[in-house]
Amino acid sequence: MQNFDFFRKMRYNIGMKHDIIIIGGGASGMLCALTLVQNGIEDVVLVERGERLGKKLSATGNGQGNITNQNLSVAHYFSDDIKKVERIIKGFDNHALLDFFKSLGGMFEADEKGRVYPTSRQASSLTDLLRFALERAGVRVQTGFTAVKISRQADGFSLTSQEGAALKGKTVVLATGGKAAKNFGTDGTGYLLAKSLGHTLTPLYPALVQLKTQTAHIKGLKGIRCEGLLRAYDGAKELTHARGDVIFTDYGVSGNAVFWASSYLTDAKNPSVSLEFLPDVSKDELLKLLSQKAKFCAEEQIFVGIVNNQLGRAILKRLHLENGKFSLEGAVKLLKSFTLPVTGTLGFDYAQVTKGGVPMSELNECLMSKKCKNLYLCGEIINVDGECGGYNLQWAFSSGVCVANAIIAERKGGRGHD
């Protein structure tokens, strides 16, 4: 539980209307709240259903916190209004984000793929930097508050929690995330709140998620990890390709390259993935190498020292199944393109993000609702998702700051934003 002082105050303040209520203490909600208070907006209440803030943020990047990417560009995002995404990200880009976290006391480093992490390599330290700053800034936090009902009133909003508490606010920010990984508090209730205020939703899909594939050719490979090039197809059409790790499982494939590909496969009618195990060696080179090896070793030993032994056995088995016999050309073909039809995903519970959400077309340039005045949305609840590599946290933070800046401008009598 956080901020007992606030709880004490809250009891006395039931019925009092707050200036701004932010629903959802995740990445976007925390940064939105902090930016508001740091810029002189005093009466900000951040409500979070969990017992603590930033539970998901603390688990990101395999616990290491891949906060953004040096190669940030809108090309890494999906949305119904990519131009708006671009403006919002440019308004608070990767440099601004890192400068901000450095101002809170963090240090950062990037890997060879441009993925940026705190030097602590602890995602929880990102949450801590924000949490401590929120405390210092005096943001009022109420944990254990699951917003289940929101209604529009003449001069603001009335909010009811599952736990029986009530709050009133002039302005509300929906920062509840999507419906991916519900064990972190994101079960999609935010969508119901948005819908109750007049919003619609685009179709929702799990993204950055493990893929289920036909398993006949990967039996016995569970747990084997390889670095390679993964291509995603719809029928014969290549949708994307990515280099990275692929991990075989009993249901299909996992790993960063797979997460990447999953974002492109949601609409595919005839989805498949194809693994290239040795992307830096040409077909001709491979054929030459295997031909030389075939002179002194048996067929069963042909892949030893080239790929993982179990993988080699699986390739050999597939070669016999599909061609009826061993051939060097067939072996090279499978090393270059080990295709697996995709039969599904592990679903929202295992996904890192939700593809789809409240359409951008229902929000103005500052992410204020066009359906309901003084309602703002930020983060994953909006129809924006990014590729694997730090792009989703960047969006959460950029959009949180965008909303905060819009409210600050409006409160200070600056530009209007209808």
Ligand X SMILES: Cc1cc2nc3c(=O)[nH]c(=O)nc-3n(C[C@H](O)[C@H](O)[C@H](O)COP(=O)(O)OP(=O)(O)OC[C@H]3O[C@@H](n4cnc5c(N)ncnc54)[C@H](O)[C@@H]3O)c2cc1C
Residue number, 68 or 374, with CB nearest to ligand X: 68
Q: Does 244 interact with ligand X (rule: CB under 6 A)? A: no
Residue number, 82 or 216, with CB nearest to ligand X: 82
What is the rounded CA–CA span in Å between residue 412 and residue 240?
46
Residue number, 34 or 314, with CB nearest to ligand X: 34
Region of 75-83, 182-190, 212-220, 300-308 interacting with ligand X (CB under 6 A): 182-190
Region of 54-62, 86-94, 251-259, 334-342 interacting with ligand X (CB under 6 A): 54-62
- In the complex, the smallest distance separating the C-beta of residue 314 from ligand X, rounded to whole angstroms, is 29
Q: CA dihedral in degrees (83, 68, 35, 18; nearest 10)?
A: 80
Q: Give 12's contacts (C-beta < 8 A, 6+ positions apart).
A: none
DSSP structure class, residue 16 = P
What is the rounded CA–CA span in Å between residue 154 and residue 371?
15
What is the rounded CA–CA span in Å between residue 341 and residue 40?
55
Query: Can you list the alpha helix ranges (DSSP code H) found in 138-174?
Result: none
Whether 264 and 230 have beta carbons less than 8 Å apart is answered as: no
Q: Does 189 interact with ligand X (rule: CB under 6 A)? A: yes
Q: Does 44 interact with ligand X (rule: CB under 6 A)? A: no
- In the complex, the smallest distance separating the C-beta of residue 78 from ligand X, rounded to whole angstroms, is 13
Q: Does 48 interact with ligand X (rule: CB under 6 A)? A: yes
Residue number, 258 or 353, with CB nearest to ligand X: 353
Which H/E stretch holds residue 33? Answer: helix 27-38
Query: Whose structure tokens read 């103005």?
Result: 364
17-23 and 338-345 beta bridge pairing: unpaired
Residue number, 190 or 356, with CB nearest to ligand X: 190
**CB 67: neighbour CB atoms within 10 A?**
25
Q: Which of 278, 335, 375, 396 binds ligand X (CB under 6 A)?
A: 396
- In the complex, the smallest distance separating the C-beta of residue 236 from ligand X, rounded to whole angstroms, is 32
Task: List interacting residues with ligand X (CB under 6 A).
Answer: 23-29, 47-50, 55-57, 59-61, 66, 145-147, 175-177, 180-181, 184-186, 189-190, 352-353, 379-380, 390-393, 396
